[in-house]
Structure 1
């Protein structure tokens, strides 16, 4: 269980750290080729979303690693399930039907949530 958690949590953390950093430091024009939905939300919300992703990635790794507030790890994973559920809604409202990645991230975050409760 421990190895499975660290594998999935590590992959999720890397993904969200990368995606969140891009949202925080890049302009809307730079993000548009890889994220067609960026025109549908205000720029401050986009930057805040990036910051939340970075904090969530940190929440998956640091609490179990340090043993401080370990309940933050499942909370972060649940947060990613909710975030991707909202992302699917944004994609579908903007008539973007490419939600396979979002569905995969929901599944991965859900399994990570369960694994985090087993630590």
Structure 2
């Protein structure tokens, strides 16, 4: 189970680094064209979400790898889960349909699983 949690944490970290980097490095007009929900929020907020996603991704793996403050792993996973719940709510509120909300819901479920496992039966 520990190996599964490591694989899941690295996979989640890769997804969130990619998503966060796209939010930070892509021009606003390109973001709106690719993901229309961006138009509903100020640019600073989208960039802030990108920073949070990258920090959360780092929090999923670095504390466990370094052995310094491993409690941050489940906290980061819980924070990313909360972020994804709100992302799903944004898509639902906008009427984007279940297809648009599904990735956020799946990421939230995976993040909750990592958080629960690392808080409880399989700590780092």
TM-score with structure 1 length normalisation? 0.94
| Residue-pair matches, total | 119
8 Å contact from structure 1 (residues 40, 94) kept in 2: no
> Matches of 2:24 and 2:57 in 1, distance apart?
14
Unmatched 5+ stretches in structure 2: none
Q: Which moved more, 1:23-32 or 1:56-65?
A: 23-32
Superposition RMSD in Å: 1.0
> Matches of 1:13 and 1:73 in 2, distance apart?
11
- Equivalent positions of 1:99-110 (< 5 A) are 99-110=101-112
Secondary structure in 2 aligned to 1:69? Answer: coil
Moved over 4 A (4+): none
Higher relative contact order (CA 8 A, sep 6+): 1
Residue 31, structure 1, aligned to residue 21, structure 2:
no
**1:55-87: per-residue Cα shift (whole Å, max 9, x none)?**
000000000111101110000000011001111
TM-score with structure 2 length normalisation? 0.91
Unmatched 5+ stretches in structure 1: none
